[in-house]
Amino acid sequence: MTTPSLLILPGDGIGPEVMAEVRRIIDWFGAKRGLQFDVSEDLVGGCAYDKHGTPLHDDTMAKAQEVDAVLLGAVGGPQYDNLDFSVKPERGLLRLRKEMDLFSNLRPAQCFDALSDFSSLKKDVVAGLDIMIVRELTSGVYFGEPRGIFTEGNERVGINTQRYTESEIARVARSAFELAMKRDKKLCSMEKANVMESGILWREVVTEVGRDYPEVELSHMYADAGAMQLTRWPKQFDVIVTDNLFGDLLSDLAAMLTGSLGMLPSASLGAPMENGRPKALYEPVHGSAPDIAGQGKANPIACILSFAMALRYSFDQGTEAARLEAAIEKVLADGLRTADLMGPEGGIPVSTSGMGDAILGALDASL
Ligand code: NAD
């Protein structure tokens, strides 16, 4: 079997700091669990612009298309704010997502018990929460035509079009069913079939795809009811699949059930490659945090959890992903806190690398 390949793009600001901790964890899995990766590293964002005059060099794009998974830190910074729109750091990230055709965006909402006080909801509602929102990312109302602001008679009218083809719905549904198979085998599809034709088609196609996954318990919910249920009792869900617009709202809502930005990983998946693995980009939800960059204050957990997602969803290493998540849980339960996690109850302050050291220690203890 060939060694799985991983392209690491640390990017700007705190990106390289948090990624340095991920590199140590990747090395740990190689040395202690025999999990070898063919790791290469390259530039994206402002640092790529500084070197090549473009936020993503064509060679880097080509590499991203070839590897089994891409792991990205963050891009951007105030020194790039005045660049032309076409070469802004964020364009590098957008090019990756577009050319890899990453149509399925995975945003987990996972609440570590030790941080359940960080949520605005009651502790028993969020403690132990572990759900996944799958958002369709490349179609729907953000892309549909016609769109624009037009004049009709003597007033202006703003138009956006919700448009989904069967195949666009089917591929994101399939990706959600595949995920559900690796989790608790429960999938809830959310749309507004009561008032939108695209919602009726969405429900029909998801149901059709579901026939290939008889083990997965499929349910349907109107997206507005879904938002209510997510805040009332989120633990009733495992995987949720929804369109681009509803997914944008519901994934932000679900993410904030769990507290800090420094804890939130994400993945964007595309079509399966020849080896059966989906094209994949893993990245923390946070940005380059220029206000704390270079000070050893960044929380590396979102980026480390993004690697845990890669282990589970690209490399079929669910048990090792769970080992890594349990190590993080342990360190948090022991009271270790980067600055962003320091609540009123206090904790043991640690730097970025201090958090990495502690997670490596907990991994050692798990053997
Ligand atoms: P941000 O996520 O970088 O920071 C928001 C706040 O959260 C800041 O106070 C920051 O210190 C804090 N924070 C973020 N990540 C943290 C971590 N891991 N540990 C501790 N604290 C953390 O968002 P912003 O300030 O709006 O944007 C800063 C730059 O990042 C901008 O150039 C923006 O365009 C870019 N950005 C990039 C991405 C990405 O690469 N995916 C996403 C969002 C923003």
- Name the closest-CA residue to atom 12, ligand 1: 289
Number of domains in the chain: 2
- Name the closest-CA residue to atom 37, ligand 1: 287
Residues 253 and 296 in one domain: no
Residues 249 and 134 in one domain: yes
Q: Among 238, 257, 276, where does a domain finish?
A: 257
Residues 186 and 152 in one domain: yes
Q: Among 223, 257, 291, where does a domain finish?
A: 257
pTM score, whole prediction: 0.92
* Identity of the amino acid at 234: P
Q: 120 in a domain, yes or no?
A: no
- State the Cα–Cα distance between residues 283 and 269, nearest whole angstrom: 12
pLDDT at 128: 87
Q: Among 257, 292, 311, where does a domain finish?
A: 257
Residues 244 and 200 in one domain: yes
User: What domain range includes position 218?
Assistant: 130-257
Band of pLDDT at residue 319, cut at 50, 70 and 90: very high
Pocket residues: Cβ below 6 A from ligand 1? 14, 18, 74-77, 90, 93, 261-262, 283, 286-292, 298-299, 302, 340
Residues 172 and 102 in one domain: no
> Tens digit of pLDDT for each residue in 39-88?
999 999 999 999 999 999 999 999 999 999 999 999 999 999 999 989 99
pLDDT at 64: 97
Residues with a known catalytic role? 142, 192, 224, 248, 252
- Distance (angstroms) between ligand 1 centre and the Cα of 243 equals 25
Q: What is the CATH number of the domain that holds 360?
A: 3.40.718.10
Which tokens hold the place of 334? 């022991």
Q: 122 in a domain, yes or no?
A: no
Q: 100 in a domain, yes or no?
A: yes
